[in-house]
Amino acid sequence: MKRCHIFAGGDLGKIDRSWFSTHHGFIICADSGYKHAVNLGLEPDIIVGDFDSYTGRLPENTEIYRTVPEKDDTDTLMAVKIAIERGYDLIYLYGAIGGSRFDHAFANIQTMIYAHEHGAKLICIGDENIYLQGAGEAMYPRGKKYGEKYFSVFAVTDTVKIKSLRGVKYPLENYDMKPSFPIGVSNEITEGQAFLDIEYGLALVIQS
């Protein structure tokens, strides 16, 4: 898969530069997400935004995609669209969930759905790692670096048909998960890794 890193303007959480030394990729900053790249000593390939939250100096030799505040897309969604248009199908998104703006966090969850619908895998990286999973089986290792404890699964579509969820404290089998009942919250990985097998539907997976 072709990898891209996108920085949004929320809190980064426990991210350090060593992650990027082993996960090389194209870098896009959405508006004030540029500050995160600077603090990590990273040079973005593109900076996109209306620059209502970042008013500092922009680098001279970087591609700038400037918009206006009166627009339909968020700066982060525009960054994701640019990444997909340029062929990146594995997108790590930082600064997307942390911070005081829950509306921005929710918008970024919807941006994950947009990426999924357009053939790209988008993962939100931070103190909580957030994934979307459709049909098929996926493995989720228990986090070691930051001591992730909880493993939560939520229905995004009207029904998520779970064939099996194993390797966790509260397994599921042949279960219809609904968005109106959060049965999947605060589970725990017990065997080093969890396995989620979905027959149909779209689930949000959070390791925290």
Of the candidates 15, 47, 16, 50, the one whose C-alpha atom is nearest the C-alpha of residue 33 is 47
Q: Report pLDDT for 144.
A: 64
Lowest mean pLDDT of 14-18, 64-68, 149-153, 156-160, name the range.
14-18
Are both 56 and 140 inside the same structural domain? no
* CA 1 – CA 21 distance, rounded (Å): 17
* CA 142 – CA 156 distance, rounded (Å): 23
Are both 114 and 137 inside the same structural domain? no
Q: Kindly report the average pLDDT of the chain as a whole number.
A: 90
Choosing from 127, 149, 164, the residue where a domain stops is 127
* CA 200 – CA 133 distance, rounded (Å): 10
Are both 16 and 88 inside the same structural domain? yes
* CA 163 – CA 153 distance, rounded (Å): 13
Highest mean pLDDT among 21-30, 31-40, 112-121: 112-121
Are both 59 and 155 inside the same structural domain? no
Which of the two residues, 61 and 27, has the higher pLDDT score? 27
DSSP string, 135-176: SEEEEEEPP-SS---EEEEEE-SS-EEEEEEESBSS-EEEEE
Q: Report pLDDT for 145.
A: 54
Indicate whether 133 pLDDT > 70: yes
Choosing from 127, 151, 169, the residue where a domain stops is 127
Are both 43 and 23 inside the same structural domain? yes
* CA 147 – CA 181 distance, rounded (Å): 27
Q: Report pLDDT for 160.
A: 98
pLDDT band at 147 (very low <50, low <70, confident <90, very high): low
* CA 168 – CA 48 distance, rounded (Å): 40
pTM of the model: 0.90
Indicate whether 185 pLDDT > 80: yes
Are both 123 and 149 inside the same structural domain? no
The continuous run of DSSP H or E covering 86 comes out as: none
Which of the two residues, 202 and 70, has the higher pLDDT score? 202
Both tokens of 59, joined, read 């680098």
Percent of the chain whose pLDDT exceeds 90? 66
Are both 35 and 99 inside the same structural domain? yes
Are both 9 and 101 inside the same structural domain? yes
Choosing from 92, 127, 162, the residue where a domain stops is 127
Query: pLDDT by residue (tens digit) across 32-86?
Result: 899 999 999 999 999 998 888 777 788 888 899 888 777 788 899 999 999 999 9
* CA 162 – CA 149 distance, rounded (Å): 22
Percent of the chain whose pLDDT exceeds 70? 97
Are both 107 and 48 inside the same structural domain? yes
Are both 17 and 49 inside the same structural domain? yes
Number of structural domains found in the chain: 2
Q: Report pLDDT for 191.
A: 83
- The torsion angles phi and psi of 111, rounded to 5 degrees, stand at -65, -35
Q: Report pLDDT for 14.
A: 80
Query: pLDDT by residue (tens digit) across 85-109?
Result: 999 999 999 998 877 688 888 999 9
Range of the domain at 75: 3-127
Which of the two residues, 171 and 97, has the higher pLDDT score? 171
* CA 3 – CA 87 distance, rounded (Å): 9
Both tokens of 10, joined, read 């929320």
* CA 115 – CA 119 distance, rounded (Å): 6
* CA 41 – CA 183 distance, rounded (Å): 41
Are both 33 and 83 inside the same structural domain? yes
DSSP string, 8-63: -SSB--S--THHHHHS--EEEEETTHHHHHHHHT---SEEEE--SS--SPPPTTSE
CATH label of the domain that carries residue 27: 3.40.50.10240
Q: Report pLDDT for 148.
A: 63
Are both 175 and 202 inside the same structural domain? yes
